[in-house]
């Protein structure tokens, strides 16, 4: 029996685990893939207090080091089901764990365009991670799809590696931060294609050779980077009555859900601002509030 089980080893879950460990709780972290979560896919982080600039994977590594140094227990197992009673039961692919409190910090995954053969070419011409795959397109032309801060910042990252970036957005105005918009606009090798959408992939001999736009135009690119938002990771909660909106978990000002003893923090929750700094603080706050109960 644990005091607290935390689902997700992104910055929110790890931040919570540090506070829980320091509060003397018996805590277990569960993660289905790599510790660090979404930040593993961010090229450069320059808006986290106290850190002038760090790559996402380096920050993820530091977080994981901290977990190990503090002796926080973790298991790399996928959560498949959760049963919420007085005790919280968490089933994984390998085991069943029970705790008094549960914190869901499972984050969200990239949304895809829904194009024909999109899944087939994922990892083979289509990517959701410029940091992971950008180097494959050195000296080639690529397309970035989206108009938020992710599309803008990753287009900037790619512009330093590849020959040319086409930034394709379905509206006239970008949704992302002003500083990023100005930087993108000043880059010589980023061409903006606005008010347009990708309707299909152009392929040849089982390789991506371009994209076809709504206006019928073909753009020749070897790589396509999709940054059109996210889907929250809440599939394993289908047997619960946790209140959600569009898949995002609803929490109160203490980060508690509608179910007593069940908290949620970070990108899996419904909120206005999705930043690394508030994901970290929410995890910490959730634990502080649960220890005050």
Residues 6 or more apart from 12 whose CB is under 8 A from it? 105, 107, 265, 266, 267, 279, 280, 282, 283
Using CB under 6 A as the binding rule, whether residue 187 contacts ligand NDP is answered as no
Between the two ends of the chain, the Cα-to-Cα distance in Å is 19
Supply 88's token pair.
Answer: 């919280």
Total residues at interface with ligand NDP (CB under 6 A): 20
* Catalytic residue status for 81: no
Residue from 146, 210, 261, 266 binding ligand NDP (CB under 6 A): 146
Supply 274's token pair.
Answer: 């999705």
| Closest separation in Å from C-beta 231 to ligand NDP | 11
* Catalytic residue status for 133: yes
Report the residue number, 59 or 287, with the smaller CB distance to ligand NDP.
Answer: 59
Using CB under 6 A as the binding rule, whether residue 148 contacts ligand NDP is answered as yes
Residue from 102, 274, 279, 287 binding ligand NDP (CB under 6 A): 274
* Catalytic residue status for 132: yes
Report the residue number, 67 or 276, with the smaller CB distance to ligand NDP.
Answer: 276
CA–CA dist 112, 159 (Å, integer): 22
Residue from 164, 170, 187, 270 binding ligand NDP (CB under 6 A): 170
With beta carbons less than 8 A apart as the criterion, state whether 103 and 242 touch.
no
| Closest separation in Å from C-beta 59 to ligand NDP | 13
Element (H, E) at 7: strand 2-7
- Nearest residue to ligand NDP, by Cβ distance, number only: 148
Among the listed residues 254, 281, 291, the one whose alpha carbon sits nearest the alpha carbon of residue 25: 291
CA–CA dist 215, 230 (Å, integer): 26
| Closest separation in Å from C-beta 19 to ligand NDP | 24
Supply 202's token pair.
Answer: 């152009």
Catalytic hit among 133, 188, 215, 272 = 133
Using CB under 6 A as the binding rule, whether residue 147 contacts ligand NDP is answered as yes
CA-to-CA dists, residue 42 to 131, 175, 239, angstroms: 7, 18, 33
Using CB under 6 A as the binding rule, whether residue 240 contacts ligand NDP is answered as no
- Catalytic (active-site) positions: 129, 132-133
> Which residues contribute to the site for ligand NDP (CB under 6 A)?
47, 113, 145-151, 153, 170-171, 175-176, 197, 227-229, 274-275
């Amino acid at each position: 029996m644990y005091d607290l089980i935390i689902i997700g080893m992104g910055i929110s879950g790890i931040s919570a685990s540090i506070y829980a460990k320091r509060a003397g709780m018996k805590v277990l972290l569960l993660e289905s893939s790599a510790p660090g979560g979404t930040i593993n896919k961010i090229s450069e982080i320059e808006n986290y207090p106290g850190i002038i600039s760090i790559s996402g994977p380096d920050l993820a590594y530091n977080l994981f080091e901290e977990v190990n140094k503090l002796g926080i227990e973790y298991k790399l197992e996928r959560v498949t089901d959760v049963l919420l009673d007085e005790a919280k039961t968490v089933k994984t692919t390998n085991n069943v764990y029970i705790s008094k409190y549960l914190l869901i910090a499972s984050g969200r995954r990239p949304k895809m365009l829904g194009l024909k053969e999109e899944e087939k070419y994922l990892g083979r011409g289509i990517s959701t991670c410029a940091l992971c795959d950008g180097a494959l397109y050195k000296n080639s032309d690529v397309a970035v799809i989206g108009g938020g801060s992710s599309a803008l910042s990753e287009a900037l990252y790619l512009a330093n590696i590849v020959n040319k970036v086409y930034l394709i957005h379905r509206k006239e105005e970008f949704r992302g931060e002003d500083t990023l918009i100005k930087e993108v606009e000043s880059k010589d090798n980023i061409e903006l294609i606005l008010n347009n959408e990708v309707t299909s992939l152009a392929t040849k001999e089982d390789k991506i050779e371009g994209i076809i736009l709504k206006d019928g135009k073909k753009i020749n690119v070897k790589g396509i980077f999709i940054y059109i938002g996210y889907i929250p990771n809440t599939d394993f909660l289908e047997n619960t009555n946790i209140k959600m909106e569009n898949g995002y978990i609803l929490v109160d000002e203490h980060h508690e859900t509608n179910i007593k003893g069940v908290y949620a923090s970070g990108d899996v929750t419904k909120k206005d601002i999705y930043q690394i700094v508030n994901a970290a603080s929410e995890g910490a706050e959730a634990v502080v509030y649960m220890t005050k109960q």
